[in-house]
Structure 1
Amino acid sequence: MGAQQVRDGFEELYGAAPEGVWAAPGRVNLIGEHTDYNDGFVMPFALPHTAIAAVSRREDDVLRLHSADIDAGVVEVTALEPGSDTDWTAYPAGVVWALREAGHPVRGADIHLSSTVPSGAGLSSSAALEVVVALALNDLYELGLQRWQLARLCQRAENVYVGAPTGIMDQTASACCEEGHALFLDTRDLSQKQIPFDLTSEGLRLLVVDTQVKHAHSEGEYGKRRAGCEEGAAILGVTALRDVPYADLPEALSRIDDEEIRRLVKHVVTEDERVERVVTLMTTGADAREIGPVLVEGHASLRDDFRISCPELDLVVDSSLSAGALGARMTGGGFGGSAIVLAEESDVASITKTIEEAFATAGFTAPRVFEAVPAPGARRLA
């Protein structure tokens, strides 16, 4: 659904034209998984798939939420409370709560939403919903917040109001990414570098393979790993695992008795190094094909050390590599969702066919495969 359709839907629902229409994208993460809540490095880029919101202010404290894709909800903003909503409406409502809790003069609003970001695919559909609402309210209420500040508030909405212990990457990617670039983000201080990312000019493509296996971050496994990383940092006497130098990893691991925590620490420290390696490749004129093996390393670490892959994700990686892909790995929070595949343009059709046939043979639901092209971040459309 496009901006005009969302605008028209708003007018039909609420009886007047909206004050504006905004969009915020989903994201795919090239490299840097589960490093964001460890103060580490990530490298996402925005997808063309977006959440679109038509929004108007209200003079009372009523928040009316409607989705063209799901259903509606009405709530008093003064009654917003963490844990009070377990539906999709928790994400936009949580943003209103976070803004008000931070002291910003936000009252009621009429909001009509639609999204083309696949839900549960590990492509940040929830962050897109949060960021589009935050940007709209920031503009309408003239709050003057910068993009990184909106991302922080959206993360708080998801962590506290929704109850999902996610890091800052998804919201920052949606708010701050630029077209044609990957975002090299230091999640400790939110410093950013926009890295040109144009695979087409090198005859390459990056595919996203949505396995159709849904995940839920607010369920226990994600939180267990975050808690394990925090325990590992405490054992090593550092603020976060980002502070463990890659060169010192063997010595650090020797100080941890718990095998599970040792694996978590190993993944985070090596994944930060992989992000820095990819940044070096992308900023020194190296052939982008050299990124491929780094992606494969990352998947092995997520599968064997962090243990958040699943048979469908592993099958994407194994089958695509067997068909000539340059690299592949799961992306996102894990336990389902999507994988990315780096391939020669000439091999895309055969790799896609191989993946689809492998899923059919295994009896899995057919995957959704599409090309990922770095798109613009959150923006006002009208």
Structure 2
Amino acid sequence: MKAVNDMHELEYGEKPEIVVKAPGRFHLIGEHSCFFKDKTMSMAINLPVYIAITKRDDSSLKFYFQQVNERKKSSLTSLKLKKEDKWANALKAVAYGFTSGGFTIGGMNITVYSEILPSAGFGITTAIKAASAVAIKNLYNLNCSDMELLQVIERGNRRFLKVNNFISDNFAALFSRKGSLIITDFSKNKWDYIPFNFEDKKVFLVDTKVPRINIWDEESLHEPQYALLLGDLREHKSNIYGGWQYIDDVTDINEELAVVSEGVRRKLLSVLYEHHDVLEAREGIEKGDFFKFARSVNHSHETMRDMFNISCPEIDWILKRVNELEPNLDFIRNPVTCGRITGKGFGRCLYAIVRESDVDNFNSKISEFEKIFGFHPAVYQVESSDGVSIVR
């Protein structure tokens, strides 16, 4: 925290009045299922973003991002989305979210401090929004409930940035608990916690630096008729977490999805499988059964690779090596490691969960990856984290 205090004072000539920290985040399973009102399992992580703010006497907004050494400016009276403002647009969106909701705020000097840049993914842009929203709320002593704060972020996303509002991202940044995963239930617009206590395991995030490319537009799947098709395949069961699951009768599933193209059918099936994997992974965690959890994670990656079509050879190579860290064939059915692509897909990021004794071997595989593919990945060993908090 001292670093952000010093940077803010150096930039603006005064100490910050408030400093707020928000965690990075990655999704373990289910981040592509929100349109269909399914579930997403996420982990907030100790890759934090700090936001430091002081009030101004006018309506100007000045932004400084120390790690990229960039300065941007705007005004509360003329907030505009500008392509060249990149990271600063997230801050402007939050300011817009407050003013468009009838809250009164003034000009501000704002410093962003994050060792991880937004371009890497890992929930950094959402962390900027969450931290700045909480900072502004408390700086101006606004009467703003948690639900209203979520609406502030949503207005900024939908109306100002013109992007989708993913509540699983917002829930993870705002409400996570250290030592737990957070599960978003989109059908109920709620979140839940599940303690994550596999103490002999280490979690790694890998930014492979493989360029992202678009194989297909995921939003083309977001059509009401497709949601209705999947809705017809649900069955309510009181003994199932969340109260429902997709049917498992292959004949009925194929009949229901016979009206769509093969490409769409495979992607809708992957959504169906993802919900099952979330439920299975949660049950594995709840019972302390890492084998069950790991099977669900590995199966989810296979689905993302083979049916949802968002993986790439470089990520698949690393994850194959992760699953080869234990050479004993007995562990094929009961894996002691697991991993999956995470984020927007086709290139870039993955996570791996390995035994503490396999850490050195895992790192050697990353070095081998560099020699083979020529990319220089960034690797972060991470732990679960609490959600947003005021640190000054």
Give the TM-score of the pair, scaled to structure 2.
Answer: 0.86
Is the deviation greater in 290-299 or in 11-20? 11-20
Matched residues in 1 for 2:319 and 2:158: separation?
A: 31
Q: Does 1:374 align with 2:367?
A: no
* Count of residues paired in the alignment: 372
Please show how residues 49-64 of structure 1 align to structure 2 within 5 Å: 49-64=47-62
The runs of at least 4 consecutive aligned structure 1 residues that moved more than 4 Å come to: 82-86, 237-245
1:262 equivalent in structure 2 = 265
1:310 aligned residue (305, 309, 312): 312
Q: Match of 2:383, SS?
A: coil
Q: Distance in 1 between matches of 2:315 and 2:158?
A: 26
Kindly indicate whether the alpha-carbon contact (under 8 Å) linking 1:31 and 1:43 is maintained by their aligned counterparts in 2: yes
Aligned to 1:338: 349
Q: Aligned to 1:79, what secondary structure does the other structure show?
A: coil
Unmatched segments (≥5 aa) in structure 2: 237-243, 327-335
- In 2, distance between residues paired with 1:130 and 1:215? 23
Deviation at 1:328, TM superposition (A): 1.3
Aligned CA distance change for structure 1 residues 144 and 309 (closer, same or farther; 3 Å): farther
Mapped partners of 2:145, 2:226: distance in 1: 31
Choose 1 or 2 for highest CA Rg.
Answer: 2
Structure 1 residues without counterparts, runs of 5 or longer: none
Aligned partner of 1:173 in structure 2 is 172
Please give the alpha-carbon distance, in whole angstroms, between the structure 1 residues aligned to 2:315 and 2:157.
25
Cα–Cα, structure 1 residues 90 and 40, in superposed 2: closer, same or farther, change >3 Å?
same
CA drift at 1:160 = 3.7
Q: Which residue of 1 aligns with 2:72?
A: 73
- For the 8 Å contact 1:85–1:162, the answer to whether it is kept is no
Q: 1:98 to 1:221 in 2, by over 3 A?
A: farther
CA contact (8 A) 2:103 2:142 kept: yes
Seen in structure 2, the aligned counterparts of structure 1 residues 242 and 163 have a Cα distance that, compared at 3 Å, is: farther
1:168-221 deviations in Å (ceiling 9; x for gaps): 222221111111111122123332222111222xx22222222123549xxx76
1:225 match: 218
Letter of the 2:247 counterpart: A
- In 2, Cα distance between equivalents of 1:282 and 1:193: 14
Q: 1:15 aligns with which of 7, 13, 20?
A: 13
Matches within 5 A, 1:320-335: 320-324=322-326, 326-335=337-346
Structure 1 residue 125 corresponds to structure 2 residue 124: yes
Give, in whole Å, the separation in 2 of the partners of 1:192 and 1:67: 31
- What is the correspondence of 1:152-171 to structure 2 with a 5 Å cutoff? 152-165=151-164, 167-171=166-170
Does structure 2 retain, via aligned residues, the 8 Å contact 1:120–1:214? Answer: no
1:226, 1:242 → 2: CA distance?
26
Query: What is the deviation of 1:349?
Result: 1.2
Q: How does 1:176-325 map to 2 (within 5 A)?
A: 176-200=175-199, 203-213=200-210, 215=212, 224-233=217-226, 236=229, 238=231, 245-247=245-247, 250=250, 251-254=252-255, 255=257, 256-283=259-286, 285-324=287-326
Distance (Å, rounded) in 2 between the aligned partners of 1:372 and 1:277: 23
- Matched position secondary structure for 1:89: helix
State the one-letter code of the partner of 2:265. R
Please provide the CA RMSD for this pair.
2.7
Q: Which stretch shows the higher mean deviation, 66-75 or 143-152?
A: 143-152
> Residues 230 and 143 from structure 1, CA distance in 2 versus in 1: closer, same or farther, beyond 3 angstroms?
farther
Question: CA–CA distance in 1 between the matches of 2:358 and 2:190?
Answer: 36
1:364 matched to 2:374? The reply is yes
1:295-338 deviation line (CA, Å, top 9, x unaligned): 11111111121111122221221121122362111111212232
Q: What's the TM-score once normalised by structure 1's chain length?
A: 0.88
Determine the C-alpha separation between the residues in 2 that align with 1:253 and 1:57.
Answer: 59
* SS of the residue 1:18 aligns to: coil
Q: Distance in 2 between matches of 1:364 and 1:319?
A: 17
Q: Matched residues in 2 for 1:98 and 1:240: separation? A: 37
Cα offset, 1:252, TM superposition = 4.5
After superposition, the Cα gap between the structure-2 partners of 1:257 and 1:37, relative to the gap in structure 1 and judged at 3 Å, is closer
Using the alignment, how far apart are the partners of 1:194 and 1:152 within structure 2?
A: 22
Q: Structure 1 pair 258/152, CA: closer, same or farther in 2 (3 Å)?
A: farther
**Alpha-carbon separation, structure 2, partners of 1:297 and 1:20:** 44
2:278 aligned partner, one-letter code: V
Give yes or no for contact 2:52–2:112 (8 Å, CA) kept in 1.
Answer: yes
138-147 or 93-102, which deviates more: 138-147
250-259 vs 313-322, which moves further = 250-259
